[in-house]
Amino acid sequence: MSTLPSPAAAPAAPHPDQAAPDKLTPLLERWRKVPGGLLPLLHEVQAAFGYVPSSTVPRIARALGLSRAEVHGVISFYHDFRSQPPAQHRLRVCQAESCQAMGSRELTAGLEQRLGCTLDQPRADGTWALESVYCLGLCAASPALMLDGQLHARVGLAQAEALIQQTEELRA
Amino acid sequence: MSTTLYVPNDSVAQALGADQLAAALQFHALRRGAPIRLVRNSSRGLFWQEPLLEVATPAGRVGYARVSADQVPALFEAGLLHGGAHPSCIGLVDQLDWLRRQERLTFARAGLTDPLSLDDYAEHGGWAGLRRAFELGPAGCVDEIAQSGLRGRGGAAFPAGIKWRTVADQSAAPKYVVCNADEGDSGTYSDRMAMEGDPYQLIEGMAIAAYAVGASRGYIYLRSEYPQAIAIMGQALERARQAGWLGERVAGSDLAFDIELRVGAGAYICGEESALLESLEGKRGLVRARPPLPAVRGLFGQPTLVHNVVSLATVPVIFARGAAFYADYGAGRSRGTLPIQLAGNLRTPGLVEKAFGVSLRELIEDFGGGTASGRPVKAVQIGGPLGAYLSAAQLDLPLEYETLAQHQAMVGHGGIVVFDDRADMAELARYAMHFTAIESCGKCTPCRIGAVRGRELIERMQREPGQPERAAELEALCEVMEHASLCALGGMTPYPVRSAIRLFPADFGLPRPDPAKETSDVE
């Protein structure tokens, strides 16, 4: 049974510099005195902007009493943090061993063909990104994937293609 | 009089359409004028049966397996609300052999309760452990955990009692309790299941630990790949706080303790405790050199007790029922129960909680139902992506720390991933190096560079079979990675690689080893 995914809440991206004073200030106020607050702050910045604009780095650093290099190092270290706007749709396919045992390699290859892009390299038109994820914890129902934040398990290629089709039809 | 229906709120159930099923049940019940009470319960851990719809009847809860939303009208016609006959019906869930043959202690409530209901938790034995902890006093608690024989369930299997005593003995304040919920290992899901299905048990375990060691603050570091666990854990913390189980006077006692939930950001290395602490401090997740141990100087430079989810979730039952009760389970130095997570190519995968000592064959064949493909088992990986592979000939080994260690394998987090005879072990070994290369924190050369070279070497072996000198090169590289890496990521990557080559040389284009040489190696 295919599940209709809810469309991604893609933020209509105003220019980050324009939006930054309004969206960023309350986040900085909330986290600047919390011990170890940089990671939760970056999560909230990404939730607000869709990614972590490089223009926010100096202000984050100043608010938290860190150097820009330290903030940049954290952003680049963690796979979740993006420095560029994301694709409209993100399809994350689990690549870990349990999903491999149940055909995730073949599923991934099929999806690369269907979407016309290579794993972990977003499509040039910015519509789709096919990404590796290492374990969604759905190992007893492999293969598993996450489409725009929605989990799907026991996924064969036909079902995955149906999900993509539904997502694209919703967009049209 | 309404009938109670249960639809799991677990990630697997959700990923298989449980939310749509719940909506359909509400809709069709309303249309039929049939009053129902729908509970989003925790999962029983019978994952091949999900979504598992259960109906409360006078005889007990009747289960319907793999139910989809479009089957709901037919189910109502079949007398769903009375446990009526239907092809998906599996009978009384409590009577299933798969469940009855287990020894669930940590997961005793799995499937029974609404995870977010404080009343449900209390009615099913919740908070009894905390109350007894207060009676024992902090020193008594440390003794109790030591006597239980509990070892960390996150992989390293370090005795919990030693950790607790070390933190308790530190005079520095404040102290912290940190829950490592960054379970990123392939084939493991017990942490996810514990947090999604029984969040108050984890909170209670952390409160007991905090009381014992003198900590005032707790952190749960939860991986970002578990959105449902994040949502449920966040709500549970809020409700526990409002109900007084967290805060200035926990349960009216002198204990001041609160817990903050922090979400990780996709770095596997942050499952390593010192990298996790760095991440909680808002830094890159680099591995710290030891000493000092986190118990002496951990989070923000303070004494910190770090435990995995299942270790902390097991604490309440130990206190509620006593250390001796828990220690009585198991074999040898492996005391208590282990939640074993069956995954991969299996017909009936799910969570099996058993005392240590159960054989791999029983787990894979009896509980796991053999391969989903029907083909023979070729290899089994135990303990996550850094766990060694075992061959089909080794399935009579017991799941036990010492015995597996003698066979260069490990229990790890209790995950078991099964592969059938189509598995390409060279490709899996290459993947292990590839995974480590991606996830390395970059701090130490053997891991950062070694994993890349290892991947290249194996790729060369795949392209040009029949070159034994490559195997020797790979072995030398594994030696360096094992002994010179700063943490388990680089240090344990050789385990899946070496075991794959040793047990399945043909997949690497290598001849089978000389039987005489093999014998001498074993000696």
Residue type, A3: T
Angle, in degrees to the nearest 10, between helices B494-503 and B425-439: 170
What pLDDT shows up at residue B334?
81
CATH superfamily assigned to domain B3-100: Glutaredoxin (3.40.30.10)
* A135 is known to lie in a ligand binding site: yes
Our CA-based measurement puts residue B135 at a distance from the nearest CA of chain A, in whole angstroms, of 33
More confident residue, B474 or B158: B474
Residues B207-233: tens digit of each pLDDT: 999 999 999 999 999 999 999 999 999
Closest residue, chain A, to B194 (C-alpha)? A137
* A117 is known to lie in a ligand binding site: no
Residue A77 to residue B441, Cβ atoms within 8 A: yes
Our CA-based measurement puts residue A73 at a distance from the nearest CA of chain B, in whole angstroms, of 7
Average pLDDT taken over every residue of chain B: 94
End-to-end CA distance of chain B: 70
Our CA-based measurement puts residue B188 at a distance from the nearest CA of chain A, in whole angstroms, of 6
Residue A101 to residue B417, Cβ atoms within 8 A: yes
What pLDDT shows up at residue A10?
44
Q: How far apart are CA B164 and CA B144, in angstroms?
A: 10
Q: How far apart are CA B177 and CA B305, in angstroms?
A: 5
Would the pLDDT of A7 be above 70?
no
Residue A32 contacts B where some CB pair is shorter than 8 Å: no
Q: For the domain B331-420, what is the CATH code?
A: 3.10.20.600
Chain A residues within 8 A of B265 when measuring between CB atoms:
39, 42-43, 78-81
- The contacts of residue A7 (CB under 8 Å, 6+ apart) are A148, A167, A170, A171
Q: What is the mean pLDDT of residues B107-115?
A: 97
Per-residue exposure over A116-143, b if at least 16 CB sit within 10 Å of its own CB, e if not:
ebeeeebbeeebbbbbbbbbbbbbbbbb
Residues B378-404: tens digit of each pLDDT: 999 999 999 999 999 999 999 998 899
Residues B349-373: tens digit of each pLDDT: 999 999 999 999 999 999 999 999 9
Residue B281 to residue A138, Cβ atoms within 8 A: no
What pLDDT shows up at residue B516?
56
Domain residue extents for chain A: 16-77, 89-171
Nearest to A138 among B12, B267, B283 (CB): B12
Residues A77-132: tens digit of each pLDDT: 999 999 999 999 999 999 999 999 999 999 999 999 999 999 999 888 999 999 99
Would the pLDDT of A12 be above 60?
no
User: What is the CA angle B387-B389-B390, rounded to 5?
Assistant: 130
CB atoms within 10 A of CB B325: 14
Sign of the C-alpha dihedral, residues B277, B282, B283, B284?
A: positive
- Strand-pairing partners, residue B341, are B351, B415
Q: How far apart are CA B449 and CA B30, in angstroms?
A: 62
Residue B186 to residue A134, Cβ atoms within 8 A: yes
Q: How many CB pairs under 8 A join A and B?
A: 160
Residue B98 contacts A where some CB pair is shorter than 8 Å: no
| Fold for the domain defined by B425-522 | de novo design (two linked rop proteins) (1.20.1440)
Domain residue extents for chain B: 3-100, 118-327, 331-420, 425-522
Q: What is the 3-state secondary structure (H, E, C) of B325-352?
A: HHHCCEECCEECEEEEEEEECCCCCCEE
Residue type, B453: R
Residue A134 contacts B where some CB pair is shorter than 8 Å: yes
CATH superfamily assigned to domain B118-327: NADH-ubiquinone oxidoreductase 51kDa subunit (3.40.50.11540)
Q: Which CATH architecture has domain A89-171?
A: 3-Layer(aba) Sandwich (3.40)
